[in-house]
Amino acid sequence: MNTPLYKKIPLPGIAFLPVFFSCLLSCTARIDIDTEASAPRLVIYGSITTDTMQHSIKITRSGGYFSTSKPEGISHAAVAIHTDKETFTLQESSTEAGLYQTGSSAFGIEGETYRLSVALDFDEDGRQEAYEAVSYMPGAPTIDSIGFRPSLLSDNYLEVLVWGYMPEAEENYLSFHLYRNFEIVNDSLQGFFIIDDRYMDKKEIAGVSCFYLNQEEEQSILREGDIITVRIDGVTKEYATFIKDAQSELWGSDPIFSGPPANVQTNIVSKNPSENILVSGFFTTFSGSKKTTVYR
């Protein structure tokens, strides 16, 4: 008697396949989303730091989802930054609508709390609305030295490392910035790098790899004699969260089928809660230190 090499197995679920494929096809139904229907938002963004310079607050009106034009700057606002001891009154730029700046001798002080106040007629109904935000200025880290090494992750990359230490008795978040020949390299939201100092041992910045530079891309190649500066800013937890949320919106959800995105949180508060005006942006304070070396 011949023994079969295989045994036929009944497939009772095969009738399910047409239903399964019809479900897949039904997922391709066209959905029209009206991206132009949302009301424009008031956007307020800016900071004050420990640097002696003109500090800026930018006030704009958001555009449509597919708009390619620059956001509209809002003029004729009353803008000031306050502490318990002094007030900086900001003046609108004569060359850029919606850009408000302090005098060139203004600077912030570590440990102070700063309050931004803005008054303007956003909806053009003849009545001004008021907004404010509050931010505490944390202490700055200290950078002892910076160095370089070939990346352990890829032959094409060069790592930038930093040594230093953190101020004591504070919960610090660090924002890293890199300059090559006095021009900033990571000047976009995508290039921001922020970490929590809880990941550092005993408040030491012990050879932290803060940048990975692709030596096959012109914008990040380091050459003999380049002047390299690393700046580290001490920022608040709220601002660190704001940046991370904004980056998440920029990069999209991961994994792809995770929950829907939410609006990036703002610390700008309306003093007229009855006004039906949407507001976005952030007011922050930070203190910084930097170190410069020549690349060899």
Query: What digits encode the pLDDT tens for the residues 236-250?
Result: 889 988 888 887 776
155 shares a domain with 214: yes
Question: Judging by beta carbons within 10 Å of its beta carbon (0-12, 13-18, 19+), is residue 166 exposed, middle or buried?
Answer: buried
- Share the mean pLDDT of the chain: 82
> Which residues, in sequence order, are CB contacts of 125 under 8 Å at separation 6+?
none
3-class SS at 202?
helix
Q: Which two tokens stand for residue 84?
A: 């318990």
Q: Mean per-residue pLDDT for 260-289?
A: 84
87 shares a domain with 72: yes
106 torsion bin: left (phi>0), alpha (psi -120 to 50), beta (else): beta
Output the pLDDT for position 93.
97
Residue 283 lies in a domain: yes
On the question of pLDDT at 12 being above 50, the answer is: no
Output the pLDDT for position 43.
95
Per-residue confidence band for 9, with pLDDT thresholds at 50, 70 and 90 = very low
* Residues 111-134 pLDDT 10s: 999 999 999 999 888 899 999 999
231 shares a domain with 160: yes
Number of folded domains in the chain? 2
Per-residue confidence band for 196, with pLDDT thresholds at 50, 70 and 90 = confident
Asked if residue 295 lies in contact with residue 225, where contact means CB atoms within 8 angstroms, the answer is yes
Residue 175 lies in a domain: yes
118 shares a domain with 158: no
276 shares a domain with 134: yes
The enclosing domain of 114 has a CATH number of: 2.60.40
Distances (CA, A) of 195 to 154, 201, 208, 234: 22, 13, 11, 10
Q: Mean per-residue pLDDT for 220-232?
A: 93
Asked if residue 122 lies in contact with residue 131, where contact means CB atoms within 8 angstroms, the answer is no
> Which residues, in sequence order, are CB contacts of 242 under 8 Å at separation 6+?
264, 265, 266, 267, 282, 284
Q: Which two tokens stand for residue 77?
A: 């606002």
Number of alpha carbons in the 13 Å side-chain half-sphere of residue 64: 9
Residue 256 lies in a domain: no
Least confident of 50-54, 65-69, 288-292: 65-69
126 shares a domain with 52: yes
Neighbours of 33 (CB within 10 A): 7
Strand 227-235, strand 279-294: pairing: antiparallel
108 shares a domain with 53: yes
228 shares a domain with 169: yes
Output the pLDDT for position 253.
54
Residue 162 lies in a domain: yes
Output the pLDDT for position 96.
96
Residue 248 lies in a domain: no
Q: Is the dihedral of CA 142, 197, 168, 288 positive or negative?
A: positive
> Which residues, in sequence order, are CB contacts of 236 under 8 Å at separation 6+?
135, 136, 138, 173, 284, 285, 286
Give the dihedral of Cα atoms 273, 85, 266, 49; nearest 10 deg.
160
User: Of 131-135, 197-201, 214-218, 235-239, which has the strongest mean pLDDT?
Assistant: 131-135
Output the pLDDT for position 14.
45
Residue 14 is classified by DSSP as T
Q: Mean per-residue pLDDT for 156-172?
A: 83
128 shares a domain with 48: yes
Asked if residue 146 lies in contact with residue 207, where contact means CB atoms within 8 angstroms, the answer is no
Per-residue confidence band for 4, with pLDDT thresholds at 50, 70 and 90 = very low
* Residues 14-26 pLDDT 10s: 444 454 445 545 5
282 shares a domain with 232: no
209 shares a domain with 172: yes
Give me the domain span that covers residue 284.
42-138+265-289
Residues paired with residue 283 on neighbouring β-strands, in sequence order: 46
Residue 24 lies in a domain: no
Residue 72 lies in a domain: yes
109 shares a domain with 83: yes
Q: Which two tokens stand for residue 16?
A: 């399910």
Per-residue confidence band for 265, with pLDDT thresholds at 50, 70 and 90 = confident
Residue 26 lies in a domain: no
Output the pLDDT for position 273.
75
Least confident of 138-142, 193-197, 221-225: 193-197
